[in-house]
Chains A and B, each alone.
Chain A
Amino acid sequence: MNHHTKCQKRQEAIGALVLGLLDPAAETELRRHLDTCDLCRGVRDAMVEEENAVRSAFDVIARSAKAASSALAERFGKADKTPSMATQPAKPGRRIVAKGWRIMKTHYRITSLAASLVLLASVAGVLLWPTYPGSYVLGQTVDSIKKAGFVHTLMRDSQGRLIDERWIEIGADGNQARYYQDANAPQYKTSLLIIDDGKVCYALDRVEGAVMLKPTGSYQWIYNLADFFESLTKDGTVTVEQNARYRGKPAHKVRWLKGQIDCYIDPKTRLPLTVGPMELEFTNPPAGVFTVPKPPAGVKVVDLRGGSEAAKQVAEREFKKARLFSDGHKALAAKQYAKAVKALSDAIELSPMENWIWYWRGDAYAGLAQWDKAIADYTKVIEMFKTTNMVPYYAYLSRGLARLGSGDAANGKADLAVALPVMIKSLRHTDGATSFDYADNPTAVREALAKLTPEQRRENMILRLRRATGQDFGYKAGMEPGQIEVVIGKWEAWWKQNASGYKSPGTAATSPAS
């Protein structure tokens, strides 16, 4: 009887345990008791199980609240930019989008700016919010694109200057049939005129003063735009805001969370107005836009079709770059930092626009405790994302640690202030940890990383958080969901209490665009 009454009193402590509110001493004492008391253990187990149900019920309410906030927004201005506070996991469908995205990769040494932005997007630090079904808008968009015939795309730099213009003919199968691109981005040392008439691809590189003749299809943007939108309908990480505005006009805003890409859709035609940084129009091109011209006089012409000598040279160059890249990875994984710096520096020479090479060279410098050089390389990565709406959170984390290593605590903490909230959020939405996992595993094959379980991702992230903050809230592999919830709650509470200490004013780290 007495024992029973005591256990009744312990229930409050069990409630606190489930919510992660117990102090360590009380927790130890209670756990000791739980090992011996079936009654209390039963209550604890039931509450842990119930905790998920309670949270998911509140998640449903949270989604409803989101609708209420939209109504508020209409009356009083924007209420909230985040899609929801709910914690529904992303639905499967990643592979379909991955495929759709892969077809955007251009062949050979493509300097197409949009393609590089798009590729950067696929590996940028991305935080996932829960899913809103987007099929309503997107299904009709797919149909409209199939009927459109031609796409005209425009991309501007931060000063509004046109740096990339394309005309794409959409074939009956939805694939790119003919292609025109004029890219002029001095900041990326790019000036290209590409015309693909469906038989040959003519590429005039104005910087190098050469014309390359390549197989048709060598340059692409999104090879099949309808397929791309179709894949988004199945991705499960897409949110749709139907009452958005684009340039003052009503538009549907489709946010692909995993790729961190926004698309605006015209509600009348259902055609996309933008895809990421590209503005789109669906009109007929001027006559002759797909006509391959004669190469300008005095410019050397390199035929890269078939098994020509020049094609072999290009292939060798690509091969050499891939080898250097791989040597650098391996050396880095084996902690042979000087060797890694050498290989990755050579790789940068050959391919200066690949963010990951810079990032891993930064890691190699950090391994050598050459902080200034590490910071410079990480900064380069961050700069590369400046013109996009993506944030390489992993680079902020590493630069923060390098700055702390160099003794620059204020700027180091300011960098961590960018990365930590995302890292802590990814304990729940573990897809958000993808880019961190890739950053930490240079030798791993991307597909293998994609197969990491949420538990493995969470565990990796906990290790990073411990390293970055020196905090440890007792996470262990194989914990039960309720206990994991407790640990996550502790990290969240810790950040709420300590965030201000990480944002010292006047620091050099500029906060990225949200």
Chain B
Amino acid sequence: MGTSSRSSTEAEHLVREHWRAVFSLCLAHALCLSDAEDALQETFTRAIAGLDSLREPAKARAWLFGIARRVCADQGRKRHSVESLPDHVASKRQPTDERVEELLAALSRLPEPYREVVSLYYLDGQSTICLAGNLGLTPAAARQRLARARVMLHQLMTRGKT
């Protein structure tokens, strides 16, 4: 598969360093655990096959995020062609936990940029400085986006309960 000329240790390093962040991003787009896991696999499969195109290792995270967003978009299109995407994405698939179901339902109603910060913040444990670096924002903008996303999430979760 991966015909990359680079060493397998480099691939291993890439996986080890970035898988959590990539998974967090995939979840923000897929809004379903199994789809996020599939997207994670696919992202690294594509990434490692095309490792030669990564010219600046320092930008690996951004490069992987680019791939992950494309993978998730493809996934979304495929889903659309089979069935129309349900409004309540989380409720359709086998949610493992009530809390997760509730969270994913609220998350699915957030605009995409807000979903990304929430997922990266909580799931990958990124600081706002790190978020800023990963999403190409200033730290102040990352802070603002996160705070705003948190309030929106609160409103959605409260609404979901009433």
Contact = CB atoms under 8 A, between A and B. Distances in A.
A421 B31 CA distance: 32
Contact of B96 (A60, A492, A497): A60
Interface stretch (B5-13, B55-63, B64-72): B5-13
Nearest to A68: B37
Interface stretch (A50-58, A302-310, A337-345, A506-514): A50-58
Interface string B91-102: 000001101101
A15 B19 contact: no
A16 B41 contact: no
Contacts of B159: none
Given A46-B154, A72-B19, A77-B12, A53 B99 contact: yes
Q: Which residue among A12, A16, A54, A80 has the maximum number of chain B CB atoms within 10 Å of its CB?
A: A54
Contact of A60 (B45, B99, B153): B99
B59 to A, nearest CB: 19
Contacts of B129: 493, 496-497
A76 B97 contact: no
Contacts of B122: 54-55, 58
A444 interface: no
Interface residues of B, number: 45
Given A21-B143, A57-B100, A65 B23 contact: yes
A51 to B, nearest CB: 9
Contacts of A50: 154, 157
Interface string B129-148: 11000000000000110111
Contacts of A110: none
Nearest to B13: A77
Contacts of A496: 127, 129-130
Interface of B: 8-9, 11-12, 14-16, 19-20, 23, 27, 33, 36-37, 40-41, 44-45, 48, 96-97, 99-100, 102-103, 121-123, 125, 127-130, 143-144, 146-151, 153-154, 157-158
Interface in A377-400: none
A76 B127 contact: no
Given A12-B144, A54-B103, A58-B103, A76 B96 contact: no
A19 B97 contact: no
Given A16-B147, A73-B15, A60 B154 contact: no
A493 B127 contact: yes
B100 A61 contact: yes
Given A13-B147, A492-B127, 12 more contacts: A46-B154, A50-B154, A54-B103, A64-B37, A65-B123, A68-B37, A71-B37, A75-B45, A76-B12, A79-B15, A80-B19, A492-B125
Contact of B123 (A21, A61, A71): A61
B150 A15 contact: yes
Contacts of A492: 125, 127
Main secondary structure of the interface of B (DSSP, over half): helix
A153 B12 CA distance: 35
A21 B103 contact: no
A44 to B, nearest CB: 10
A71 B149 CA distance: 31
Interface in A70-103: 71-73, 75-80, 85
Contacts of B150: 15-16, 18-19, 47
A76 B147 contact: no
A336 to B, nearest CB: 44
Contacts of B99: 53, 56-57, 60
A69 interface: yes
B159 to A, nearest CB: 12
Contacts of B127: 492-493, 496-497
B103 to A, nearest CB: 4
Query: Could you say which interface size class chain A belongs to?
Result: 35 or more
B31 to A, nearest CB: 11
B151 A60 contact: no
B151 A11 contact: yes
A21 B147 contact: yes
Contacts of B125: 85, 492
Contacts of B121: 19
Given A65-B20, A492-B127, A78 B12 contact: yes
A78 B12 CA distance: 6
A16 B123 CA distance: 18
21 contacts: A15-B149, A15-B150, A15-B154, A19-B147, A21-B128, A43-B154, A55-B122, A56-B99, A60-B97, A60-B99, A61-B123, A64-B37, A65-B36, A69-B23, A75-B44, A76-B11, A77-B12, A78-B12, A80-B19, A85-B20, A493-B128
Contacts of B143: 16, 21
A14 B151 CA distance: 8
B136 to A, nearest CB: 19
Contacts of B14: 76
Given A76-B44, A78-B12, A493-B127, A12 B147 contact: yes
A114 interface: no
A53 to B, nearest CB: 6
Find the residue from A19, A56, A61, A79 having the highest chain B CB count within 10 A.
Answer: A61
A459 B71 CA distance: 45
B94 to A, nearest CB: 11
Contacts of A71: 37, 41
Contacts of B123: 58, 61-62, 65, 85
B15 A76 contact: yes
Given A15-B154, A46-B158, A77 B147 contact: no
B147 A79 contact: no
Contact of B15 (A53, A57, A72): A72
